[in-house]
Structure 1
């Protein structure tokens, strides 16, 4: 409980800091922070704030947000309500408190389905937007999810509960409380309560064949899963069943496979031989012995790492071919992976198993070399203190959920204070943050507006392709310029809510559009935004702030005036046409904007200077290593290289200089050359690692 109390204090401090910096209400800052976790956890694909409240007690109506267009999430309409306590003291609530919190959201849904309620609202108000969306999409809605998010501790036992249907549409509610968010922040997991209980909930234990020997590193099983059971499981937990990184990757690809649907409709009995089946992982599996042999009675934290389209297609059949599901069977390969090995094992299972979409693990997993390199820079690159501050600091990149809170938690109280100075919480950023910074500056605000996960999927594919072509561009200077973009993005986030023209709502859209516009207009006519000066100062100049806010106001105007036939502003912001409108608009930023720019020639000069510094550092390190290895070592290299006939005249000359240490000291360039020869001889098998341990 002490950890939970500390987590609450830190969370409230973060919320207050964001609220104070941005001038928004604390509950809005809470909503932004919490829904970012919900999308990362797979509970939602996206989350838009849409606050509305009216009435009292039995007539009270309230909504805090929604999860985008249900047509983009298999017909699931998700609505969010916040239960937010301003105290730093841990508070609890139970199942008896749920009606008081949830009923206002239910009343909102009931009223939002009527044109009378919608038309009584201002068209630009978030409540109008949600109501119009509900009315427009209701024929396509297959399920309603009501999500209660709270910074209190829920002491009830229910995770997801089914309510009465609404005109034939099933309605469920679920709770994300403080403990659940703490688990997710610390370990990236919030699924301890996702137990697939075949014995009691899904038709009985499943016959299984154990596919691993006793004492094997990992337990494995083969199962034949009836289509009805798989559809029912997915209907209950939805996208939470799909391994997070694979889900992110697949969101950017084709919708549910039409070929799979065709097989279910026309030849369901052939589904098994036609389909490749599922690859899945679990944290634990419980087995029972039956008259027919081994069977699995329950699976803890099931994750489908390959077979998202198959699963989605079978679930969709509940609506269009329910009777056919009785003849559908799908094979599943199930591997039990302990949580501490998840990051190591699951990416490999996904990469090797997924063939239909040619999934490349390099596209999205947190252990891709790109993320590891950015993490390395974030722990080592020091940024000078801002004007008026005393301490230099670093920007902490969290390539996997829980790194920051865990690294801080391992320290003593005094060392935690040092950690906070070295890595201020305000300078923490995640993979999805990085994707927002980069795609905003690259002119993709409509992609950013589609939500953190879809935006990251787009960024991941792009970075994977670029990395494969040339990884050298992602050097320390690239990282420093990334931080400059982060500073610009967060400056906009803080300043937009303070503007007189800002009426609330759509801040995230305005921010990414304004940043994209500034970079688009600034990077013209041999000019570019001067990121290097922002990196040095660790702040945005007054001139650039003014220009950013001019762009933000214009972005607000474009977003709040969609084209004919488009009434939902959030959906409008996701369209290329919205960005094209803003991109084409001429904006007068004032005379000060020129001071924020630099020549593209200077940008290139800085890049060349950075590469030269890297070469100098590499040369110094090579010389240091050559001297450290010593004359006897290099004499042995010369001897074995000559015996094998693998040395050129130049090779022998430079290696002999190294063999004369300390009488002669090789230059940095000679040292680098000698080490290259050494690596070549090892690759040829002339030298072994044991003989030439570097």
Structure 2
């Protein structure tokens, strides 16, 4: 049952109140975190740093992010804890934009930083604006509003701030509502090539027959591709490709060399681009068929080609007029996109030797964690009478989708069993894990880059031993999440906390706690934290002491670094904090050491869970094998034998499967049969 915009506003308002209370933070910070998390997840922005500054001289800013491509995102909030949905007028809109423009211009032209407290986030932003002035090629002013924009506001044309091209983006409650309730759970790009570039894009249809999905072959001018990337950035890239690029981050030198030295040969040398769309609109022209419009263009292979064209044109002043890129465009209905698009990514990217971690959205790791979250009940909180579950969003919007067709009463029961504050995403999980595994710098690089690092790491570990990712791993991850969220709340409540750099303090504080445990060949009792669904007073006191030292340290960056957030992204920041571990240990409460258990004890629990996982894998494999009739196995055996695609061992196991139910394959044999099944499907042999 789809809710109305007004109902969404009420639900969103309650969500903000709950989050602010849970983290002991201001409602404004909770509001900005909720909206920007959406924008990061869908690729609209790369990251977000909270920075609230409001001055009587008509200046305001509520957050920012510098990306790697010379773009500065400046966020300004229209938020006043309103109890009912109201209209954002054009006058209010223009006033909000003027305030953030005043902040930027005062930073550049009036040395605003000299008037600000040097440990404050606004000082760091004002100084970084000055330091990066010559590198900023574009500014995005993003107004985030709890109101709904007036119908009288039709568009906001680009402008400039101190001579820098500036675009304006409004994320009001109506736009957020459309995004959350859309089938794809993200705002689809609507690209009208005639409107944007004055002409359509020549193409050839590549689909045959009435039932075939639409597909087109396109020769895309590199200038247009670069322009699209400049305007929309990572929104053009399918999520897994964004992860791929975040993990690597560098311009492909071979592509760059061809652009600079042999532009006329680019089409011959480059493998081209594979892309998908929700829909395509074509027109007839003198030169043949042209694509006029593409809705939700997503590059699923060729993200590095696209980014390299853009960067080489910008950094090397390369001319792209002679360069064309071949593009294969497939029109995929959004209902099927979650299944089909990752497959297209995987198959199209084999040329780059991309491992499974790079296509992480549908990776078996995610599916397993999702299965645990739907099955495993968390112990009831003290004083509560019911157990609950943590809800893992493997794909965007799953939490909302799970409630769509429920009655009001069933929705209430669902939320009781799966409280919203116990919903966590892939990027949340990456934060929980990476800070404990001593990668605080990664967490400070932003949600997307941190997730990319996590995806790489887990992909490799999964290949070595998928059984390590078991119920113990899941419960430990939730315990780490409980510690992470408790530390966020605890830092906000400290007398020394001035409202800035909480994310940085939290990441490094937990990393210090992990380092202290590791040096003593010990660990926290994560299963006890899982059983209690929270941390005790001793651990709270410990984290309070650690976070005070961490805050004092990171707010005094080394000489030559003007921005604390940037300092927290450097290896040197973690190295310096590590030199203070002995000092930190001396300040901890004596009771803390009793909280630790030996690493050997943890290893015993992990090995036991690993053995159980192996058994579960075998049982699950056996169930899957027994669901396939013996005649199907006989057909598969015949085809594979004829093609000489089975080993003698596999042939023997297949002969048992052909006799189901007279003979039942063992769990070990069932695992072999599933591998055979996978091999057959890779050869295009389907089994029901």
Q: Name the structure 2 match of 1:15.
A: 16
Report the alpha carbon displacement of residue 443 of structure 1 after superposing the two structures with TM: 0.7
Could you report, residue by residue, the CA deviation over 1:407-464 in whole angstroms, capped at 9, with x for unpaired residues? 1232111111211121111111000000000001101111101100000000000000
Equivalent of residue 379 in structure 1, options 365, 368, 374: 374
CA contact (8 A) 2:145 2:171 kept: yes
Q: Name the structure 2 match of 1:607.
A: 606
Query: What SS does structure 2 have at the residue aligned with 1:351?
Result: helix
User: 1:33-112 maps to which residues of 2 (within 5 A)?
Assistant: 33-55=34-56, 59-68=57-66, 70=67, 72=68, 74-112=69-107
Higher alpha-carbon deviation: 575-584 or 88-97: 88-97
CA distance in 2, matches of 1:486, 1:41: 23
Q: Aligned pair 1:591/2:562, yes or no? A: no
Count residues with an aligned counterpart: 653
Query: What SS does structure 2 have at the residue aligned with 1:66?
Result: strand
CA contact (8 A) 2:468 2:610 kept: no
Report the alpha carbon displacement of residue 608 of structure 1 after superposing the two structures with TM: 4.4
CA distance in 2, matches of 1:219, 1:624: 37
**Which residues of structure 1 form unaligned runs of 5+?**
630-644, 648-657, 660-670, 686-692
Could you report, residue by residue, the CA deviation over 1:247-284 in whole angstroms, capped at 9, with x for unpaired residues? 12211204223333333333322222222222111111
Could you report, residue by residue, the CA deviation over 1:336-372 in whole angstroms, capped at 9, with x for unpaired residues? 1111111111112222222564333443432111000
Could you report, residue by residue, the CA deviation over 1:477-500 in whole angstroms, capped at 9, with x for unpaired residues? 111111110110010011111001
Cα 1:479–1:159, aligned 2, differ >3 Å: closer, same or farther?
farther
Query: What SS does structure 1 have at the residue aligned with 2:468?
Result: coil
User: 1:280-679 maps to which residues of 2 (within 5 A)?
Assistant: 280-319=275-314, 324-354=319-349, 357-585=352-580, 586=582, 587=584, 588=586, 589-610=588-609, 674=666, 676=668
Q: Aligned pair 1:143/2:138, yes or no? A: yes
Query: What SS does structure 2 have at the residue aligned with 1:297?
Result: strand
CA contact (8 A) 1:566 1:572 kept: yes
Cα 1:312–1:608, aligned 2, differ >3 Å: closer, same or farther?
closer
Q: Aligned pair 1:185/2:180, yes or no? A: yes
CA contact (8 A) 2:64 2:74 kept: yes
Could you report, residue by residue, the CA deviation over 1:467-524 in whole angstroms, capped at 9, with x for unpaired residues? 0110001111111111110110010011111001111111111111111111110233
Cα 1:239–1:581, aligned 2, differ >3 Å: closer, same or farther?
same
Report the alpha carbon displacement of residue 201 of structure 1 after superposing the two structures with TM: 1.7
**Which residues of structure 2 form unaligned runs of 5+?**
629-647, 651-660, 678-686
Query: What SS does structure 2 have at the residue aligned with 1:298?
Result: strand
Cα 1:618–1:284, aligned 2, differ >3 Å: closer, same or farther?
closer
Report the alpha carbon displacement of residue 681 of structure 1 after superposing the two structures with TM: 9.1
The two structures, once aligned, show a CA RMSD in angstroms of 3.5
CA distance in 1, matches of 2:82, 2:247: 40
Query: What SS does structure 2 have at the residue aligned with 1:354?
Result: helix
CA distance in 1, matches of 2:195, 2:53: 40
CA contact (8 A) 1:208 1:224 kept: yes
Higher alpha-carbon deviation: 33-42 or 92-101: 92-101
Report the alpha carbon displacement of residue 75 of structure 1 after superposing the two structures with TM: 0.7
CA distance in 2, matches of 1:426, 1:603: 28
Q: Name the structure 2 match of 1:641.
A: none
TM-score, normalization by structure 1: 0.87
CA contact (8 A) 2:54 2:61 kept: yes
Query: What SS does structure 1 have at the residue aligned with 2:369?
Result: helix
Q: In terms of Rg, which structure is larger?
A: 1
Q: Name the structure 1 match of 2:654.
A: none
CA contact (8 A) 2:618 2:671 kept: no
CA distance in 2, matches of 1:620, 1:682: 12
CA contact (8 A) 1:440 1:516 kept: yes
Report the alpha carbon displacement of residue 525 of structure 1 after superposing the two structures with TM: 2.8
Equivalent of residue 222 in structure 2, options 213, 227, 246: 227
Q: Name the structure 2 match of 1:118.
A: 113
CA contact (8 A) 2:179 2:187 kept: no
Query: What SS does structure 2 have at the residue aligned with 1:440?
Result: helix
